[in-house]
Amino acid sequence: MLVYDSTSTSNTTSAFECTYTTFQSNHSTATPEHPILVLDNSSHPWEQDSAGIFANPYKKTAFEFQLDDGVELSNILQIDSRFTNLIKWLGENRIKVKLTGENRSDGYAVYKIREVAFSNSQKLSSEDGFLQFMIERLLESDAIAEETSDEDLDESADDMKLTSITSISDFLNCAGKTLPENIRLWARRNLVVARSNEVTPEEKRHAQRALSIMLNIKWKSNYFESIDPVEARRILDEELFGMERVKQRIIETVIQINRTHTLPAYGILLVGPAGTGKSQIAYLVAKILKLPWTTLDMSSINDAEQLTGSSRIYSNAKPGIIMEAFNMAGENNLVFIINELDKATAGNGNGNPADVLLTLLDNLGFTDNYMECLIPTSGVYPIATANDKEKISAPLLSRFAVIDIPDYTREEKKTIFVKYSLPKVLKRIGLHENECVVLDDGLDAVLDIFKDTTGIRDLEQAAEHLAAHALYMIEAEHQTQVVYNAKMVQELFH
């Protein structure tokens, strides 16, 4: 049995001894079958949960198990290539951790690494959850090519944010390879500025803020998993009545993703009257693609700088709406829902905000004036809505596959009211269908009242009004059923 005394070797200059081989993995969850690393257990099996520290990697690649009767060393035999820098960093900084693993014939397979505090030692980076944050980022990253040169703790890193210079620096050292090459170089340069004593405090603050935004985004690959077209069609049929052309185009997009595992080169532009469900379609696409989504309401944007951000030379500089959307989504693969594209015109500011979207839509990358870095946009799928495509510039229009959505016919509106709008409202407020009944002449009266409006928004509000009135009559007037004929509808809405 090897017994390792860290104090006796602390000043030695013996050559570094690499005991492990690396392996490549794309698994996003560590398990006993797909571990982070494998330790030598030839002398005896290790406990499922074992505490200790990684030995100084400049002496020996091993783990020091802290046992009741001393310290015992176990060599690292294999390690996921994504984690080599993290293990090296844990060893260099003597971070005390607890390993969770399973004894196999080829060694002790470690699938959890959690930080623990011994003897009142401080948490690394002085922030709880930092280690789990790095581990989750590494697990979510693609395999890295091989190179030659307490159970009660919350293990979720969802709320972890890189804000301090220490945590940012540690993340770059341990998980910098999860970043795109240009962003990694950008981050190193900005970290130098944030640490420098030769720049103004304002410049340091801006650099640190930009780093925090950029590094808290998960920069995923543009490989998209296959989507079940049958499930996609079910989602569309549940929420949309008719619109077969729209559904067909969305299913075509799903089939294309399944074949190429990349997003289509063009987004979708939905053109039609107000109230025809254009925004709802966009949300459904995001749901089908299983991507986060963000909205850009172009009618409220009158300055291009709102999208591109402002230069750091100004004290009140900040990123633009597009960069903030990436930050809020937490990843670079997302659906951009661009509402009212036809209302994007030059205002009191500089330039036309709609023209800024051209670089976002070209999938060649987007540069924010505050971040000063090219942001990959190959994982962005844009879906725009508009009432009048004639008001959209030709260059912008050419970036979309245009789908015209006509207004609903009277018969379609009748079907939507009976099968979708009214049942949905009744379910939401807790009424049974037999408690609120609208007769045929009552339904015709509703349609007559709103015959000059486009879309179905007014019909949905009418269903809400009828259901609320029925609920009042049942609760306050103790009726068991409310039946609406044409006369009752006319009295209620006038």
Q: How far apart are alpha carbons 373 and 298 in whole angstroms?
A: 24
Greater confidence (299 vs 147) lies with 299
Asked if residues 322 and 353 have their Cβ atoms less than 8 Å apart, the reply is no
Radius of gyration of the chain (CA): 30
Q: Is the pLDDT of residue 494 over 90?
A: no
Show the CA angle centred on residue 138, arms to residues 289 and 147, nearest 5°: 125
In one-letter notation, the amino acid at residue 440 is: D
- Shortest CA distance to 235 belongs to which of 267, 277, 283? 283
Partners of residue 438 on adjacent β-strands: 484
Asked if residues 281 and 462 have their Cβ atoms less than 8 Å apart, the reply is no
pLDDT of residue 7: 39
Q: How confident is the model at residue 102 (pLDDT cuts 50, 70, 90)?
A: very high
**What percentage of the chain has pLDDT greater than the value 70?**
88
Q: How confident is the model at residue 70 (pLDDT cuts 50, 70, 90)?
A: confident
Q: How far is CA 56 from the centre of its chain?
A: 36
Locate the DSSP E strands across 454-494. 482-484
DSSP conformation letters of 371-403: TTEEEP-TTEEEEEEES-GGGS-HHHHTTEEEE
- Shortest CA distance to 154 belongs to which of 120, 122, 115? 115
Q: What 8-state DSSP symbol labels residue 55?
A: P
Q: How far apart are alpha carbons 177 and 128 in whole angstroms?
A: 22
Q: Is the pLDDT of residue 454 over 90?
A: no
pLDDT digits (tens, 9 = 90+) for 466-486: 999 999 999 998 899 999 999
Q: What 8-state DSSP symbol labels residue 438?
A: E
First to last CA, the chain: 91
Which one of 45-59, 338-352, 401-415, 418-432 scores highest in mean pLDDT?
A: 418-432
Q: Give 229-404's CATH code, choosing from 3.40.50.970, 3.30.360.10, 3.40.50.300, 3.30.420.10.
A: 3.40.50.300
Q: How far apart are alpha carbons 55 and 65 in whole angstroms?
A: 10
Q: How far apart are alpha carbons 320 and 359 in whole angstroms?
A: 14
63: enclosing H helix or E strand: strand 62-67
37: enclosing H helix or E strand: strand 37-39
CA distances from 411 to 64, 414, 415, 453, 478 (A): 75, 5, 6, 15, 34
pLDDT of residue 349: 53
- Sign for the CA dihedral angle at 217, 218, 223, 225 comes to negative
Partners of residue 375 on adjacent β-strands: 366
Q: Is the pLDDT of residue 347 over 80?
A: no
Determine whether 162 is exposed, middle or buried from the number of CB atoms within 10 Å of its CB (0-12, 13-18, 19+). buried
pLDDT digits (tens, 9 = 90+) for 455-467: 788 888 999 999 9
pLDDT of residue 190: 94
Asked if residues 439 and 485 have their Cβ atoms less than 8 Å apart, the reply is yes
Asked if residues 434 and 447 have their Cβ atoms less than 8 Å apart, the reply is no
Domain positions in the chain:
6-154, 179-215, 229-404, 410-493
Q: What's the mean pLDDT in 17-41?
A: 90
Q: How far apart are alpha carbons 400 and 352 in whole angstroms?
A: 18
Q: How far apart are alpha carbons 443 and 437 in whole angstroms?
A: 10
pLDDT of residue 10: 40
- Shortest CA distance to 169 belongs to which of 200, 217, 212? 212
Q: What 8-state DSSP symbol labels residue 77?
A: E
In one-letter notation, the amino acid at residue 415 is: T
Query: In CATH, what is the architecture of 410-493?
Result: Orthogonal Bundle (1.10)
Q: How confident is the model at residue 298 (pLDDT cuts 50, 70, 90)?
A: confident
Determine whether 103 is exposed, middle or buried from the number of CB atoms within 10 Å of its CB (0-12, 13-18, 19+). middle
Q: What's the mean pLDDT in 208-224?
A: 89
pLDDT of residue 187: 94
pLDDT of residue 118: 55
Q: How confident is the model at residue 111 (pLDDT cuts 50, 70, 90)?
A: very high
Centre a 10 Å sphere on the Cβ of residue 420 and count the other Cβ atoms it contains.
18
Q: How far apart are alpha carbons 186 and 172 in whole angstroms?
A: 11
Same topology, domains 229-404 and 410-493? Answer is no
Q: Is the pLDDT of residue 297 over 50?
A: yes
Per DSSP, the three-state class of 313 is: coil
Show the CA angle centred on residue 281, arms to residues 276 and 285, nearest 5°: 175
pLDDT digits (tens, 9 = 90+) for 249-267: 899 989 999 999 998 888 8
